Amino acid sequence: MFILNAWYVCAWPDEITSDAILARTICSQPIVFYRDAGGEVAALEDRCCHRQMPLSLGWLEGDTVRCGYHGLRFDAAGKCVEIPGQENIPPRVKVRTYPVVEKYGAVWVWPGEAEADPALIPERFAPQDHPDWSFSGGTTFVECNYQLISDNLLDLTHENYIHRTSLGNQAVVEYPITTKGGDDWVTVQRLIPDHDPAPFWKAALAEAKGLEDVRCDRWQVIHFQPPANVVLEVGVAPAGTGGMEGERSHGVEGRNTNMITPETETTTHYFWGFARNFSRDPKLDPVFSQKVADIFEEDKAAVEAVQRVMDANRDRPVIDINADAGHVLARRMVQRLVAGESDMPAAAE
């Protein structure tokens, strides 16, 4: 189910400290994270190689982790540096480590065996840590398969129903969706000209531009990159000011960032955020993050309900419609990459 040779967000930077162990399961692999004295993040398997005690039940001693069962101590490279009561330490006494890097305002881990290249982290997340953008985000634990979340984000048709009081607008369903894809990307787009904006965008225009009761052009451009990274370019501008053609300075523009990390096959760590180039007062950061959190709570209820029904109907097929083209392409891409890692042929497309 998982692409292992890939980068996944495991935490926000302030979640990992030098005085406590953070335990988190990524792609069904229990991992512990902490910072050394130099501030670098270490990632070790959450398993002592002696009697398989979770290291997360131990504690930090300087730059090392002490197992809470028999006291073996491991450094950030996974090497055992102390066995209580035993002077010699055989080289085989070690635990697995994971490549980990801080980039674009998040901490990323690589759970696979192949060489990890930080350049593979999608550059679309750069607005999370860029001087031209303000960013705030959060984490939601979701009891569903991770692909149900990316399915949801690639779907532009549910907005008028799940989010009818926040983002929904009848104009949304009246304009076509276009879908394009390559070897490692999918883009879904909808452009909505000359309409009365949805409540979220109406409030944003009033706050940022002092514009009220104006007709708007709206854009929704969704970018997917495997394993489950989704960035939405979203915004509105007064109708006829160039927003449809890419001139967006007259309006308000955001990037909804979504880093979807599977915990298990049916549970997910969902790291999300909103970057904006308007209303950049830091006091507004929690306001925007709360708006995004509220919107996703609506999605969370939906995808968790879908997971429950799927669990009860494992042998029943689902029916795709035209609007599903984006997530169908994304799922085929993930299936192909998973099959490639396991040297198994992908199912016929």
User: What pLDDT sits at residue 305?
Assistant: 96
* Contact between 204 and 212 (Cβ < 8 Å): no
Q: In degrees rounded to 5, what are phi and psi of residue 127?
A: -60, -15
Sign, Cα dihedral of 76, 79, 82, 84: positive
CA distance 32 to 227: 22
Contacts of 276 (CB under 8 A, 6+ apart): 133, 134, 135, 252, 253, 254, 255, 288
User: What pLDDT sits at residue 346?
Assistant: 47
CA distance 49 to 324: 46
User: What pLDDT sits at residue 183?
Assistant: 92
User: What pLDDT sits at residue 12?
Assistant: 98
User: What pLDDT sits at residue 162?
Assistant: 72
CA distance 161 to 222: 19
pTM confidence score:
0.92
User: What pLDDT sits at residue 347?
Assistant: 45
CA distance 87 to 283: 56
Tell me the domains of the chain and their CATH numbers.
8-109 (2.102.10.10), 131-341 (3.90.380.10)
Give average pLDDT by consecutive 10-residue segment, the chain, 349 residues: 96 97 98 96 98 98 97 98 97 98 98 97 97 96 97 84 61 81 95 90 91 94 97 96 92 96 98 94 91 89 96 93 92 95 57
Place of tokens 């060489």: 115
* Contact between 200 and 347 (Cβ < 8 Å): no
The first and second tokens of residue 335, run together, are 């299936």
Q: Is 254 helix (H, G, I), strand (E, B) or coil?
A: strand
